[in-house]
């Protein structure tokens, strides 16, 4: 195991990608994720990889498409407005069943928005974002170490199920430094990419990377096949952390950096004698539905906390399915939550003063 190093979240994600075998990066600068392309520009030439600054996010995601179609481990990164520009390409990647990793260090929106951390791209990442019937695997690290571990795994998940995977962070995660360790990347047993356009070498049938299917029956069949793969992902790839839920009256639900704030709030609330737990979805899609079903038997209420006007809370409601009330508290536009404010919300719920 390597020694601990102090790294920014953005740099750590970039290094993790390289250690997981990613050798192609196409991107375009945007705050607050610039350390990713900068790091790639420095490191890629030293590992015989390619860093290319595209003319736009649109071009970058299409370069990713070409490289993924050619069989490479490839990544792009951006922040909210740039991710919106990539949506067309993401839909085509899905439609052509191409694996890749896309990092979104989310900032406040809509529009040009701000540059401070936010979680207001949850819907975009989890519910589609571009056109067509599809999901993306969405991983939400809450520490720099977890960002490293999940980035490495993201490439395996992408290759295994032939799907783009999103790393959904935020400006805080990207900018903050924490100690990290780069564990030896092991990797899963993955199917060969015999579908890639590498040139036929006159020795096999030609490969076609394509998302155009004029015959509706053919397209429906392909979509159903893709959703069968999604079902496997839902069965095998769900990740979450649950803390203190056994005796909890109020269960906080938070992901990413907000889950850290929620943890601090939980500790404070517990110190004051309030029975508070936490569920932290690590995979936002697939959403960890089952744990909510379990915890809903004993908990009295759920409180989703997010840096948004309330997006993940909808999935919490679907998962809790009416068994218990689900409350929401959030800040938006780049404002971050404080543990004290969350404790206040918990008290309001316990005192019956908050509406769900």
Partner 1 sequence: MNCTHEIVMAGFGGQGIMFAGKLVSYAGMLAGKEISWLPSYGPEMRGGTANCHVIVSDEQIGSPIITNPTALIAMNRPSLDKFEDTVVPGGLILTDSSLINRSVKRKDVVAIEIPATQHAIDLGEGKLANMVLVGRLIRETGIVSLDILKEALKKIVPARKQELLEMNIKMIELGYNG
Partner 2 sequence: MTKVFEKPKALCDVPLHYCPGCTHGIIHRLVAEAIDELDILGKTVGVASVGCSVFSYNYFECDMQQAAHGRAPAVATGIKRVHPGNVVFTYQGDGDLAAIGTAEMVHAAARGEKITVIFVNNAIYGMTGGQMAPTTLLGQVTQTSPYGRNAENQGYPIKVCEMLSTLEGSAYIARVSVDSVKNIRNAKKAIKKAFETQIEGKGFSLVEVLSTCPTNWGLSPVESLDWLRANMMPFYPLGIYKEK
Site residues, partner 2 (CB under 8 A):
24, 26, 50, 52, 54-56, 58-60, 62-72, 74, 88-89, 92, 96, 197-203, 206-212
Strand partners, 250: 276, 301
> Quick one: what does residue 31 bind among partner 2, partner 1, none, with the CB cut-off 5 to 8 Å set by partner type?
partner 1
Neighbours of 122 (CB within 10 A): 26
Closest distance of CB 327 from partner 1, Å: 20
Closest C-alpha to 37, from 17, 65, 67, 66: 17
> Quick one: what does residue 32 bind among partner 1, partner 2, none, with the CB cut-off 5 to 8 Å set by partner type?
partner 1
Q: Which residues of 10-32 are buried (b: 16+ CB within 10 A; e: fewer)?
A: bbbbbbbbbbbbbbbbbbbebeb
Closest distance of CB 229 from partner 2, Å: 21
76 CB-side CA count, 13 A: 34
Q: Which range binds partner 1 by CB under 8 A, 43-51, 223-231, 263-271, 288-296?
A: 263-271
Q: Which of residues 107-126 bind partner 1 (CB under 8 A)?
A: 115-116
Closest distance of CB 162 from partner 2, Å: 15
> Quick one: what does residue 3 bind among partner 1, partner 2, none, with the CB cut-off 5 to 8 Å set by partner type?
none
> Quick one: what does residue 335 bind among partner 1, partner 2, none, with the CB cut-off 5 to 8 Å set by partner type?
none
Strand partners, 280: 241
Closest distance of CB 266 from partner 1, Å: 9
Structure tokens, 215: 């015959």
Q: Per CB under 8 A, does 4 bind partner 1? A: yes
Q: Is 326 left (phi over 0), alpha (psi -120 to 50) or beta?
A: beta
Closest distance of CB 225 from partner 2, Å: 18
DSSP secondary structure letter of residue 356: -
Q: Which range binds partner 1 by CB under 8 A, 95-103, 119-127, 203-211, 262-270?
A: 262-270
Q: Per CB under 8 A, does 335 bind partner 1? A: no
DSSP secondary structure letter of residue 133: S
> Quick one: what does residue 267 bind among partner 1, partner 2, none, with the CB cut-off 5 to 8 Å set by partner type?
partner 1
Residue placing its CB nearer to partner 2 in the complex, 179 or 199: 199
DSSP secondary structure letter of residue 49: -
Closest distance of CB 226 from partner 2, Å: 17
Residue position matching structure tokens 């069949």: 221
Structure tokens, 300: 């009295």
Structure tokens, 320: 């809790």
Structure tokens, 52: 């290319």
Q: Which range binds partner 1 by CB under 8 A, 153-161, 187-195, 213-221, 261-269?
A: 261-269
Residue position matching structure tokens 């793969």: 229
Q: How far apart are the first and last CA of the chain?
A: 47
* Cβ contact 91:310 at 8 Å: no
Closest distance of CB 182 from partner 1, Å: 15
What CA–CA distance (Å, rounded) separates 355 from 326?
A: 9
Structure tokens, 253: 């639900």
> Quick one: what does residue 292 bind among partner 1, partner 2, none, with the CB cut-off 5 to 8 Å set by partner type?
none
* Cβ contact 171:107 at 8 Å: yes
Query: Which residues contact partner 1 by CB under 8 A?
Result: 4, 6, 31-32, 115-116, 171-172, 175-179, 257, 260-261, 263-265, 267, 336-340
């Amino acid at each position: 195991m390597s020694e601990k190093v102090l790294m920014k979240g953005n740099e750590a994600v970039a290094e993790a990608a390289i250690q997981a075998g990613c050798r192609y990066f196409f991107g375009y600068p945007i705050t607050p994720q610039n350390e990713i392309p900068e790091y790639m520009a420095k490191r890629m030439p030293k590992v015989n990889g390619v860093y290319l600054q595209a003319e736009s996010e649109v071009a970058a995601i299409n370069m990713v498409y070409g490289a993924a179609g050619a069989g490479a481990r490839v990544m792009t990164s951006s922040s909210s407005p740039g991710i919106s520009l990539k949506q067309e390409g993401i839909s085509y990647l899905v439609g052509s069943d191409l694996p890749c990793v896309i990092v979104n260090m989310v900032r406040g929106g809509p529009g040009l928005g701000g540059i401070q951390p936010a979680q207001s791209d949850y819907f975009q990442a989890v519910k589609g974002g571009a056109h067509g019937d599809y999901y993306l695997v969405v991983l939400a690290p809450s520490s720099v170490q977890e960002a490293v571990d999940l980035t490495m795994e993201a490439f395996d998940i992408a290759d295994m199920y032939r799907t783009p995977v999103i790393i959904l962070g935020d400006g805080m995660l990207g900018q903050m430094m924490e100690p990290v360790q780069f564990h030896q990347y092991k990797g899963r047993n993955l199917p060969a990419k015999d579908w890639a356009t590498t040139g036929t070498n006159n020795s096999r049938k030609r490969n076609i990377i394509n998302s155009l299917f004029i015959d509706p029956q053919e397209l429906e069949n392909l979509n159903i096949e893709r959703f069968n793969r999604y079902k496997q992902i839902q069965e095998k790839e769900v990740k979450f952390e649950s803390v203190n839920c056994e005796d909890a009256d109020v269960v906080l639900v938070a992901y990413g950096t907000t889950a850290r704030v929620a943890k601090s709030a939980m500790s404070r609330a517990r110190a004051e004698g309030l029975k508070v737990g936490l569920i932290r979805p690590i995979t936002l899609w697939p959403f960890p539905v089952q744990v909510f079903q379990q915890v809903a038997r004993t908990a009295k209420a759920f409180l989703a906390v997010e840096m948004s006007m309330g997006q993940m809370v909808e999935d919490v409601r679907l998962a809790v399915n009416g068994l218990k009330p689900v409350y929401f508290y959030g800040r938006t536009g780049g404002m971050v939550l404080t543990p004290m404010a969350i404790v206040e919300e918990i008290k309001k719920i316990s005192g019956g003063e908050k509406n769900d």
